Amino acid sequence: MNEQQQIEALRRELEQHNYNYYVLSSPTITDKEFDDMMHRLQELEAAHPECYDPNSPTQRVGSDLTKEFAQVEHRYPMLSLANTYSEAEVRDWYERVRKGLNESFDVVCELKYDGTSISLWYEQGKLLRAVTRGDGVKGDDVTANVKTIRSIPLRLQGDYPLQVEIRGEVLMPWAVFEALNKEREAQEEPLFANPRNAASGTIKLQNPALVAERNLDAYLYYVLGENLPSDLHSENLMAARSWGIKVSENFRVCHSVDEIMEYIAYWDAERKNLPVATDGIVLKVNSLRQQRTLGLTAKSPRWAIAYKFQAEQACTRLNSVSYQVGRTGAVTPVANLDPVQLSGTVVKRASLHNADIIASLDLHIGDMVYVEKGGEIIPKITGVDKDARLLIGDKVTFIKKCPECGAELIRYEGEAAHYCPNEAACPPQIKGKIEHFVARKAMDIDGLGTETIALLYENGLLHNMADIYDLKVPDLARLERLGLKSAQNIKRACEASRNVPFERVLFALGIRFVGETTAKKIAYALHDIDRIMSATVEELMTVDEVGERIARSVVEYFSQPVNREIVERLRAYGLQMALSEEKLASRTEKLQGLSIVISGTFALHSREEYKEMIERNGGKNVGSVSSKTDYILAGENMGPAKLEKAQKLGVKIIDEQQFLQMLEE
């Protein structure tokens, strides 16, 4: 077998194993065996670029070559369905269908998955394009991102039509959603309200590699095309399953309205045991011929309707309100409730968000409150049963002092949250800052998770982030749950972190309002920690995207002797406290004062590399076209909206070669 044949054989094998694992949930090889095969295929493809195939299993991992999403017109409009929350209206719809057809008919009942709609175009068995619903007429081409979803086949198998469109829903499973929110909560980033928002946001990310990390799933439920296997929607779904498409096993062909009601009643309860979110039932006339007879209204098909489950709500007693303090000092009120069953889980606590929410609800201890789950995962109080007020306690008012350290709380102008200003001595803030410091995007010190940091803090080994570099292997090894090997790994990770570049060290300090991007901009503008520590508010505000709030926060941070002491200790431990000579030497002012928009797909460098080149040469990256834009760096598939606006405003458009030429001159 020559190497090209080996490549083709490996691709077929890996596609089959993907199908076994992600669609059938029946893997036949170990993860390591799969990874070894994938690695072998990557090596062969690298050695034989002439065998490149955009639908190879190796293309699922995504790359950082990002692009604007091109708008694509749907071959068949993606219409929305008429919704109802009433079983009586389902019966009315069934009766309208019966009268409209005047012949016997069946209805296919399917679970209504709560994700983001997608249309997959296959030609000659290969995935050609993946398009979001958009406005129903046109959607965004998100093919590169969809290719990272392993339950979506890149090639069909068996006896498939030469051209076919398959529609469905891209979903984030509950387990992935909860892990993602836990990670975001640890970083004090805003939580996703529900898996639908998380899936929708993920599929529109500009970085396919990040999409791949999110582990999205998909269920497909509609087959369109000129040469379909059957006139029956249910049989076309079965055929699609034979082509390798992930079709839910939970659809049912119903022969009467009573069978439909049985299906609805069953899944109203059973759906809570599914690994993905659902919010209702979709009913479709089974025969495609009968669908055409019934036709469409201006907004939706007459042959289908969506029954939405009622949002599950419970009424329970408010027993107390407690307060949690985060890394930045933000104080979050939490309602403590009598346990109540809601959406398959027992709810005992619900977030009250901030003082304004508490005031708007007019809460009193002992109130009977209505609790819902936003997206059926995050409990929230939606109201108070004021008629049930008999023996209520005190009115709930937001605390004035930190529950952890007793410091007087402050509230910044224009912000809803209250903050504890005692950064240096408030335990949750100290532990939170250390967790932020060791995070992957900061110093990337593996082995120091939340529980380990808490253990070290409680044992007096950690008081601030600088203490990390004083940790001794014997001290770590004697602690419960660690041991010698874990202690040695932590120490090695600490040593390796000395090579983390300065802009990430600045981000790792955890200065309020200074995120990853802002830290990079400040580092590139001022070059070293000493200039940053001595900078005034006015000097910092000259840095791109640094406003007064961020500038004042930086000045305030470095005005604290304890923070300056931490920086000096970190410097003494050998952390990078200035931009590298290489980065400084490569900086120029060739693009000084120029605002540049990047749009499209590039062949020579990734989007992130071009952004860094612009910043390194004194230019400014901007996200949207305006009269202040000097250039658009355009690749393939430039966003049509940007192109139209650029032409209207007379903004000069340059390609990769012209841009690189500008830097060489």
Residue type, 661: Q
- Residue 412: phi and psi, rounded to 5, are -75, 145
At residue 178's C-alpha, the angle toward residues 172 and 182, to 5°, is 130
Give the separation between CA 350 and CA 333, rounded to whole angstroms: 9
Q: Are 510 and 437 in contact (CB under 8 A)?
A: yes
Residue type, 71: Q
Q: Which residue has the tokens 């369905």?
A: 81
Residues 6+ apart with CB under 8 A from 218: 115, 118, 149, 151, 152, 168, 169, 170, 171, 246
**Cα 296 → chain centroid:** 35
Give the separation between CA 66 and CA 69, rounded to whole angstroms: 9
DSSP per-residue string spanning 616-654: HTT-EEESS--TT--EEEE-BT--HHHHHHHHHHT-EEE
User: What is the enclosing helix (H) or strand (E) of 663?
Assistant: helix 656-664
Handedness of CA 650, 651, 655, 657 (dihedral sign): positive
Q: Are 1 and 9 in contact (CB under 8 A)?
A: yes
At residue 119's C-alpha, the angle toward residues 59 and 157, to 5°, is 60
Q: Which residues of 615-629 are buried (b: 16+ CB within 10 A; e: fewer)?
A: bbbebbbbeebeeeb
Residue type, 369: V
Half-sphere exposure for 280 (CA within 13 Å, toward CB): 18
Encoded tokens for 201: 């946001």
Q: Which residue has the tokens 């998909």?
A: 218
Pairing of strands 595-599, 631-634: parallel
Half-sphere exposure for 173 (CA within 13 Å, toward CB): 15
Residues 6+ apart with CB under 8 A from 90: 84, 257, 260, 261, 264, 283, 305, 307
Give the separation between CA 405 and CA 343, rounded to whole angstroms: 37
Q: Are 656 and 605 in contact (CB under 8 A)?
A: yes
Q: Which of 32, 67, 112, 284 is catalytic?
A: 112
User: What's the full length of the chain, in residues?
Assistant: 665
Give the separation between CA 352 and CA 380, rounded to whole angstroms: 7
Encoded tokens for 42: 């990557």
Encoded tokens for 565: 């002491």
* Cα separation values, 656 from 204, 633, 645, 663, Å: 24, 7, 20, 11
- Residue 292: phi and psi, rounded to 5, are -65, -35
SS (H, E, C) 50-86: HHCCCCCHHHHHCCCCCCCCCEEECCCCCCCCCEECC
112 is annotated as an active-site residue? yes
Give the separation between CA 122 and CA 156, rounded to whole angstroms: 8
Residues catalogued as catalytic: 112
